[in-house]
């Protein structure tokens, strides 16, 4: 199935990738000020999947994610100011400043939440899908997970239940090859393909390059059509790569736990932002000025959101007392 993306859709994807990238780069630049006192897991390098998925879903579709959820939150339309307030521990945050980077939610756009516990969100996502089915709605649930979550027992239980009940849920596995500092080869059997594992259990599954927007578009289109036809869940595995350390704002290539050749290939040659921007500029050179003007708008939006977060008030201490008194 050959897919030719329109310029309009390419620009939509590019805008979301760029917004996520710049937001996280500025988080990294400002993290040293110690105003963001929570751990933060950046998605730099992994933005293409949620950005492309955004073309196929709406606010009534329900999404849930794990600890590396900034990109998923923003791509679903999550409020940027509220996210940055949350990371700064402010009362205007999406979790009232009490959750931090790993606890993001925005009910207005169907982003149910993120969680720090690996695999914890998977059964919740299946439950969301079951609710959609019982209410006979035509929406779907989206569960973002990483390759590490495949090693949790709850993944198999949830997937099995979703298959049996034909639940409208899309499993999005972003495989960046590492769980903290441990590669797949020390965590899973040699030559195992995660999507084939899912396939073997009985779930319709597929795989592609998670940094190539065109390939992502093709696979997601196929999966969403399958789910919305009432056939049940679909599991998609996307190979991708985080540019920075597992947790924190820095680069950690000096630790040498990731081969330099692998990092060079994914970061320098397969960067999703560079890839889509080059395609637009090469095919539509007249759009260069437009992209530059959009960059200014996006950067101004991010700058304004950071300023808002910094001047926003902290939660009142009596709120915490009320919570723990219950």
Check: CB of residue 150 under 8 Å from CB of residue 194: yes
Mean pLDDT of the chain: 95
Residue 324 has a pLDDT of 45
Name the pLDDT band for 4 (thresholds 50, 70, 90).
confident
Give the mean model confidence (pLDDT) for residues 47-61.
97
User: What is the residue range of 180's domain?
Assistant: 7-325
Q: Please check whether residue 293 lies inside any domain of the structure.
A: yes
Within-domain flag for 2: no
- State the Cα–Cα distance between residues 207 and 238, nearest whole angstrom: 6
Residue 300 lies inside a defined structural domain of this protein: yes
Residue 76 belongs to some domain of the structure? yes
Number of residues assigned to the chain:
326
Q: Are 64 and 114 in contact (CB under 8 A)?
A: yes
What is the number of domains present in the chain? 1
Residue 279 phi, psi (nearest 5): -65, -45
pLDDT band at residue 36, thresholds of 50, 70 and 90? very high
Residue 162 belongs to a domain? yes
Residue at 1 is within a domain? no
User: How confident is the model at residue 1, as a pLDDT?
Assistant: 56
pLDDT tens sequence across 118-155: 999 999 999 999 999 999 999 999 999 999 999 999 99
Distance CA 84, CA 286 (A): 34
CATH of residue 253's domain is 3.40.50.970
Q: What pTM value is reported for the model?
A: 0.95
């Amino acid at each position: 199935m050959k897919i030719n993306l329109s310029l309009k859709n390419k620009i939509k994807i590019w805008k979301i990738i760029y917004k996520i990238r710049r937001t996280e780069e500025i988080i990294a630049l400002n993290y040293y000020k110690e105003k963001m006192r929570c751990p933060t897991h950046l998605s730099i390098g992994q933005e293409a999947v949620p950005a492309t998925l955004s073309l196929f879903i709406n606010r009534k579709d329900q999404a849930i994610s794990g600890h590396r959820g900034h990109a998923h939150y923003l791509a679903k339309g999550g409020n940027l100011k509220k996210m940055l307030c949350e990371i700064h521990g402010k009362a205007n945050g999406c979790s009232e400043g009490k959750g931090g980077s790993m606890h993001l939610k925005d009910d207005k756009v169907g982003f149910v939440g993120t969680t720090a516990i690996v695999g914890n969100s998977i059964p919740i996502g299946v439950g969301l899908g079951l609710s959609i089915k019982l209410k006979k709605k035509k929406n779907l649930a989206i569960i973002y997970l990483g390759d590490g979550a495949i090693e949790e027992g709850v993944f198999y239980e949830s997937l099995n239940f979703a298959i049996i009940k034909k639940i409208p849920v899309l499993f999005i596995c972003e495989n960046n090859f590492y769980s903290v500092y441990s590669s797949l080869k020390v965590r899973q059997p040699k030559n195992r393909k995660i999507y084939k594992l899912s396939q073997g259990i009985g779930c319709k599954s597929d795989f592609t390059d998670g940094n190539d927007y065109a390939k992502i578009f093709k696979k997601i289109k196929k999966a969403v059509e399958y789910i919305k036809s009432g056939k049940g869940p679909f599991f998609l595995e996307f190979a991708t790569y985080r540019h920075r350390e597992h947790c924190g704002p820095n680069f950690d290539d000096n630790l040498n736990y990731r081969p330099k050749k692998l990092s060079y290939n994914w970061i320098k040659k397969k960067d999703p932002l560079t890839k889509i921007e080059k395609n637009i500029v090469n095919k539509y050179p007249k759009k260069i000025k437009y992209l530059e003007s959009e960059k200014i708008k996006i950067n101004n939006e991010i700058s304004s959101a950071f300023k808002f977060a910094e001047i926003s008030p902290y939660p009142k201490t009596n709120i915490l007392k009320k919570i723990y008194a219950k």
